[in-house]
Chain A
């Protein structure tokens, strides 16, 4: 497996502002993903973070709202832009470690509350 950290662990933000969430892994990984999980719900994939190129977004998610960077094999950021209360959620990154067979491991999550 891999050790995955996320910063911040939680935040409370004002409507209209933006927040950048960081995901750091202790080893190189082949794939990195960003998910959203609303309270009591299952996970929804936002996008696949591609190293050195634009992320691949799922239906309903766009780059202007959720810009993603992945400058190397161990780090990615997700920005939640122009936030509204509907963006209040838990945001999780997950990774597929190098040498692993498709199994995803998850970070501890970032709990975002938008007022």
Chain B
């Protein structure tokens, strides 16, 4: 069975700093997706970034980038030049590719951006 672990329940950083959220996962499969979702206090879950396991290049979306280490089964999220609006819960998630399976979420990291 697949598992996703987020070891940081809560983090705080100053505005404009760079912050890295950790995520590790466990699977014996080779083809899968990894996601980071953001859930602000408004509770809408927003897709931040997606990575296909077969791609070696790390995904990037503006200020958000990932460090995908497949051998280490690590998928960290880096937020550069953090903004107050980045304050949210961040969930790492795993999904097997081309399989009728459910997405597996980590327990989340609550990120506070301080003014």
Contact = CB atoms under 8 A, between A and B. Distances in A.
A67 interface: no
- For this complex, into which size category does the number of interface residues on chain A fall? 20 to 34
A30 to B, nearest CB: 11
Given A103-B33, A103-B50, A42 B105 contact: yes
Interface stretch (B20-28, B39-47, B63-71, B73-81): B39-47
A51 B103 CA distance: 20
B43 A109 contact: yes
A51 to B, nearest CB: 15
Nearest to B33: A102
Interface string A19-57: 000000000000001000000011101001000000000
A111 interface: yes
A-B pairs, top 8 by smallest CB distance, nearest first, are A106-B45, A109-B43, A108-B44, A42-B105, A42-B107, A43-B105, A45-B102, A42-B108
21 contacts: A1-B47, A41-B107, A42-B91, A42-B105, A42-B107, A42-B108, A45-B102, A45-B103, A48-B102, A58-B102, A92-B45, A102-B33, A102-B95, A103-B33, A103-B35, A103-B47, A105-B47, A106-B37, A108-B43, A108-B44, A109-B44
Interface of A: 1, 33, 41-43, 45, 48, 58, 90, 92, 94, 101-109, 111
